[in-house]
């Protein structure tokens, strides 16, 4: 039997940037994100008693064991939880409009959690599925759900899970990615956040920032106040990236084009467009905007970055199960 699941990636408006327990993947703070429709991963899992190890295929190609270790470790956890001892064939296909960049571990581990748990015979609630996805990658916790999603830091493994805030946003919100660089990132999010927790003197302030931002952004979501949501998201991203600059050794994910994109969005907002930026563990910039401004925004950004580097995404759905496998093993 094969099981196929699809999960969409998400972009955090209030960031997760640090763990307090790496083994259980428990975060330092709450976080909140928007699941996107354009970027997703589809994964098929088939447990097979004849296999002597897991086989992981990414976009049709068998992945070497050293590169597949996070997937195998995750499968070990599924075996331990389900009691199903067999190894599995696993195939993942990423849907990204332009090469690399936004195919994040969020959609990857959410889809894997869904397909592996179901194929192993576990019937998990969405809450427990989000706890399981967390063990693969923190941001995957939130990709089980669609729309605006909150991840509770919790007090332990049982209480650290995601929950929808508004599965289908009741107000206009969209995201535009400015793909300034699609090459592999130099500092992984895992390594970057660990260094920050250990060395950034601003970390205690960050915990308080997130506490305050979570309260304020949920209030703004309840009233559909995009201006406040965007403002909070932009400030939160800047403060997350300030942690990196203040780490030892200090580092940044920004390049020159990142700064140019940030300045351009600030200028367009001053000129009257309702748009804000956020950045994650890489140089690409994501713009939060009101869908009614889409044409104006694309018209203003195309001459600066090239139309082919701009990708628009709308709010996307939570985890889905598909009848057809992405690959025949
Ligand atoms: C900047 O979820 O990729 O995107 O938990 O170590 O797998 P691990 O890290 P990951 O980190 C995401 C960090 C972020 C912010 C966010 O998504 O909240």
Atom number in ligand 1 closest to CA 139:
2
Q: What is the pLDDT of residue 99?
A: 47
- The C-alpha atoms of residue 49 and residue 32 are separated, in whole angstroms, by 40
CA of residue 328 to ligand 1 center, whole Å = 31
- The C-alpha atoms of residue 6 and residue 35 are separated, in whole angstroms, by 13
Atom number in ligand 1 closest to CA 134:
5
Give the count of beta carbons closer than 10 Å to the beta carbon of residue 305: 17
Task: Tell me which of 3.30.460.10, 3.30.230.10, 3.60.15.10, 3.40.50.300 is the CATH number of domain 1-329.
Answer: 3.30.230.10
Q: What is the pLDDT of residue 89?
A: 98
Residues with CB under 6 A from ligand 1: 12, 15-17, 25, 31, 105, 137-139, 189-190, 280-281
Pocket test residue of 33, 138, 160, 190 for ligand 1, highest count of atoms within 8 A of CB = 138
CA of residue 240 to ligand 1 center, whole Å = 12
Q: What is the pLDDT of residue 102?
A: 67
Would you state the structure tokens that stand for residue 269, as one six-digit string? 């907002």
Q: Spell out the alpha helix ranges (H) of 27-172.
A: 69-82, 105-119, 126-136
Q: Which residues of 167-309 form beta strands (DSSP E)?
A: 174-178, 275-279, 285-289
Q: What is the pLDDT of residue 71?
A: 97
Atom number in ligand 1 closest to CA 281:
1
- By alpha-carbon position, which residue is closest to atom 1 of ligand 1? 280
Q: Where are the domains of the chain?
A: 1-329
What is the number of alpha carbons within 13 Å of residue 266 lying toward its C-beta? 9
Q: Which residue has the tokens 């800047």?
A: 238
Atom number in ligand 1 closest to CA 105:
3
- The C-alpha atoms of residue 114 and residue 47 are separated, in whole angstroms, by 14
CA of residue 137 to ligand 1 center, whole Å = 7
Q: Give which of 196, 276, 240 is closest to 16, Cα–Cα.
A: 240
Give the count of beta carbons closer than 10 Å to the beta carbon of residue 121: 12
Atom number in ligand 1 closest to CA 151:
18
Q: What is the pLDDT of residue 96?
A: 74
- By alpha-carbon position, which residue is closest to atom 6 of ligand 1? 190
- By alpha-carbon position, which residue is closest to atom 5 of ligand 1? 138
Atom number in ligand 1 closest to CA 27:
5
Q: What is the pLDDT of residue 100?
A: 46
Q: What is the pLDDT along the chain (329 residues), one digit of tens a residue?
A: 999 999 999 999 999 999 999 999 999 999 999 999 989 999 999 999 999 999 999 999 999 999 999 999 999 999 999 999 999 999 999 987 654 456 579 999 999 999 999 999 999 999 999 999 999 999 999 999 999 999 999 999 999 999 999 999 999 999 999 999 877 667 889 999 999 999 999 999 999 999 999 999 999 999 999 999 999 999 999 999 999 999 999 999 999 999 999 999 999 999 999 999 999 999 999 999 999 999 999 999 999 999 999 999 999 999 999 999 999 99
Query: How confident is the model over 82-121, as pLDDT tens digits?
Result: 999 999 999 999 987 654 456 579 999 999 999 999 999 9
- The C-alpha atoms of residue 211 and residue 31 are separated, in whole angstroms, by 9
CB 241 within 8 A of CB 252: yes
Pocket test residue of 7, 14, 16 for ligand 1, highest count of atoms within 8 A of CB = 16
CA of residue 312 to ligand 1 center, whole Å = 21
Name residues whose C-beta falls within 8 Å of residue 268's C-beta, 6 or more positions apart in sequence.
Answer: 275, 297, 300
């Amino acid at each position: 039997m094969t099981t196929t699941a699809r999960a969409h990636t998400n972009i955090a408006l209030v960031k997760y940037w640090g763990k307090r327990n790496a083994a259980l993947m428990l975060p330092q703070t709450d976080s909140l994100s928007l699941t996107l429709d354009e970027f997703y991963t589809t994964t098929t899992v088939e447990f097979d008693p004849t296999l002597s190890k897991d086989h992981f295929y990414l976009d049709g190609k068998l992945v070497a064991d050293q590169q597949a270790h996070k997937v195998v470790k995750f499968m070990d956890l599924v075996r331990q939880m389900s009691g199903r001892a067999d190894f599995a064939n696993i195939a993942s296909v990423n849907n990204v409009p332009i090469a690399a960049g936004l195919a994040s571990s969020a959609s990857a581990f959410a889809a894997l959690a869904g397909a592996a748990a179901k194929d192993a015979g576990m019937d998990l609630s969405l809450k427990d599925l989000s706890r399981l996805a967390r063990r693969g990658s923190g941001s995957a916790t939130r990709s089980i759900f669609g729309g605006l999603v909150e991840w509770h830091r919790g007090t332990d493994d049982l209480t650290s899970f995601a929950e929808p805030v508004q599965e289908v946003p009741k107000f206009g919100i969209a995201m535009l990615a400015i793909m300034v660089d699609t090459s592999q990132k130099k500092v992984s999010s895992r390594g970057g956040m660990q260094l920050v927790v250990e060395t950034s003197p601003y970390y205690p302030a960050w915990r308080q920032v997130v506490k305050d931002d979570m309260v304020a952004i949920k209030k703004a979501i309840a009233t559909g106040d995009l201006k406040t949501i965007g403002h909070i998201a932009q400030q939160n991203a800047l403060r997350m990236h300030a942690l990196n600059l203040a780490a030892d050794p200090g580092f940044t994910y920004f390049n020159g084009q990142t700064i140019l994109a940030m300045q351009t969005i600030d200028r367009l907002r001053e000129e009257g467009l309702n748009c804000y930026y956020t950045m994650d563990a890489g140089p690409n910039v994501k713009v939060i905007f009101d869908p009614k401004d889409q044409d104006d925004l694309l018209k203003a950004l195309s001459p600066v970055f090239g139309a082919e580097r701009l990708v628009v995404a709308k709010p996307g759905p939570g985890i889905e199960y598909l009848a057809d496998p992405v690959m025949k093993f």
